Amino acid sequence: MSSMEPVYSPGDWLPTVALAVLIFLGVVCAFVGIGPLKGGPHRVLDVTKDFEEYRLMEKEELSHDTRKFTFALPEGYVLGLPTGQHMTLKFTNKDGQAVQRSYTPVTDNTSIGKVSFVIKVYKAGVHPKFPEGGQMSQHLESLSIGDKMLMKGPKGHMEYFGKGNFKVKPLGKKLQERSCNAIGMMAGGTGITPMLQILHFIFRNPNDKTRVKMIYANQTEDDILVRDELEALQKEFPDRFSLHYTVDKAPEGWKFSEGFINRDMIEKHLIIPGSKQQFFMCGPPPMIKFACIPGLAELGFSDQDHVTF
C-alpha cells in the first residue's frame, strides 16, 4: 500500500456535504418556526443514498447471542426506508478489506431520530462450519456507545406499498407487481425482522385490512425474538393477525408446534381459505429450501405465490 495521503474526489464528499446542509436547514427552519416538509418528518434517504456514518446510541441484549443495535439519525429525521427494503452496513477489517452485510431495521418511518437492527452475533469458535464467526456481527458486538458505523440504503428486491400491494423482482426475472388480501409469513430466527417491518406498516394504517398469519420458527423458546411485540399486535388485532410458534426443542407444557415447518403446519396455521394469499419467507436457507417452499408446493402454491427475503 502507498504511504501517500488518499486523494478524494468530489463524489466522495458531496453526499456528506449535502446531508450536513440539509440538517443545517432543518435547524434553521425549526428556529424560525417553519415545520417539517409537507407529508411528515425529513427523510435521511431522500438526502443521500451513499455510505454515511451513524453513531451507536444503544445496545440491548435480547438473548444470549442476539442484540438490538440502535443508531442515531440527524435530529428530526426519520430513515425513509421503503417497506420491504434493507440497509447495508460496512466496515474495514484488520486486513484492510471492506466487509458489508445487509439488515432490515425493526424500526419504521415513524421512528424519529433513530434506526434499530436486531442482529444475531456469530462468535468465533461456536459454529463448526464458521470457526471464525461472523465478521460483521462480531464487529457490531465490539462497538461501544458513541462509536460510528457506515451504512447506506435502500437495498432489496421487494417493496410493500400497503393494502396487499407490492412489487418484487425475483432473481433473474422481470419486475412483478402483485396483490393479495392475505399474507402468510414464515420466519426463522432473526428472519423475523423484515416481517416485523411489514407488520408495523400494515397495522399502523387503519385503511389496510390485509389479514396476516405467521409461523415463527426457533431452536428454543428462549430464542424467540421480539415476542412481546408480536403478541401485543396479536392482542390488538385478533381478527387480522394470527401468530404460531414452532421450536426444535419444546419445553414441558409447550402449547405450540415442535420441529421443522412442514406441509401440515402450513395448512393448519398459515392458510386462510377463500383468500387471495401471498407468502413471505425469511430465515436460514435450509429452512426456506427444504421446509417452506416444498410445504407450499405440496399445497398447490407456485413461485408466483411467495417471496423470499
Q: b or e along 6-43 (b: 16 or more beta carbons within 10 Å of the residue's beta carbon)?
A: eeeeeeeeebeeebeebbeebeeeeeeeeebeeeebbb
Burial environment of residue 152 by CB neighbours within 10 A (0 to 12, 13 to 18, 19 or more):
middle
User: Which position among 86, 139, 269, 306 bears the catalytic label?
Assistant: 86
Lowest-pLDDT range of 14-18, 192-196, 252-256: 14-18
Taking only the tens place, the pLDDT of each residue in 219-266 is: 999 999 999 999 999 999 999 999 999 999 999 999 999 999 999 999
Residue that is last in its domain, among 155, 182, 213: 155
Residue 34 lies in a domain: no
Active site (annotated) includes residue 86: yes
What's the pLDDT score for residue 1? 43
DSSP 127: B
Listed in order, strand segments (DSSP E) in the chain are: 42-43, 52-63, 66-72, 77-78, 86-92, 98-103, 114-120, 148-155, 158-162, 165-168, 176-179, 182-188, 211-218, 241-247, 257-258, 277-282, 306-308
- Strand pairing class (148-155; 52-63): antiparallel
CATH number at residue 54: 2.40.30.10
**Is the domain of 143 the same as that of 175?**
no
Residue 164 lies in a domain: yes
What span, in angstroms and rounded, lies between the C-alpha atoms of 164 and 180? 5
What's the pLDDT score for residue 19? 46
What span, in angstroms and rounded, lies between the C-alpha atoms of 230 and 225? 9
DSSP 74: P
**Is the domain of 179 the same as that of 261?**
yes
Active site (annotated) includes residue 104: yes
Closest CA to 181 of 166, 200, 197, 201: 166
**Is the domain of 236 the same as that of 97?**
no
Q: Is 136 annotated as a binding residue?
A: yes
502507498: which residue's cell?
Answer: 2
Residue that is last in its domain, among 130, 155, 180: 155
On average, the pLDDT of the chain sits at: 88
**Is the domain of 118 the same as that of 66?**
yes
**Is the domain of 146 the same as that of 102?**
yes
Given a cut of 70, whether residue 24 has pLDDT beyond it is: no
CATH number at residue 277: 3.40.50.80
User: Which position among 104, 190, 246, 308 bears the catalytic label?
Assistant: 104
Q: Is 101 annotated as a binding residue?
A: yes
At 39, the pLDDT band (50, 70, 90 cuts) reads low
Taking only the tens place, the pLDDT of each residue in 195-212 is: 999 999 999 999 999 999
**Is the domain of 46 the same as that of 145?**
yes
**Is the domain of 123 the same as that of 163?**
no
**Is the domain of 111 the same as that of 217?**
no
Given a cut of 70, whether residue 15 has pLDDT beyond it is: no
Residue 15 lies in a domain: no
The average pLDDT across 176-180 equals: 97
Active site (annotated) includes residue 8: no
**Is the domain of 62 the same as that of 187?**
no
**Is the domain of 231 the same as that of 267?**
yes
Q: Is 43 annotated as a binding residue?
A: no
What's the pLDDT score for residue 14? 42
Q: Which three cell numbers stand for residue 220?
A: 428454543
Residue 26 lies in a domain: no
Q: Is 193 annotated as a binding residue?
A: yes
Residue that is last in its domain, among 109, 124, 155: 155
Q: The domain containing residue 68 runs over which residues?
A: 42-155
Q: Is 103 annotated as a binding residue?
A: yes
User: Which position among 180, 216, 282, 292 bears the catalytic label?
Assistant: 282
Residue 265's contacts (CB-CB under 8 Å, 6 or more residues apart) are 215, 244, 246, 257, 295
At 11, the pLDDT band (50, 70, 90 cuts) reads very low
**Is the domain of 149 the same as that of 205?**
no
The average pLDDT across 140-161 equals: 97
User: Which position among 103, 160, 216, 245 bears the catalytic label?
Assistant: 103
**Is the domain of 151 the same as that of 168?**
no
Residue 145 lies in a domain: yes
Length of the chain: 309
What span, in angstroms and rounded, lies between the C-alpha atoms of 201 and 270? 20
Residue 113 lies in a domain: yes
Active site (annotated) includes residue 103: yes
Contact criterion met (CB below 8 Å) for 278 and 183: yes
Residue 162 lies in a domain: yes
| Count of domains forming the chain | 2
Q: Is 118 annotated as a binding residue?
A: yes
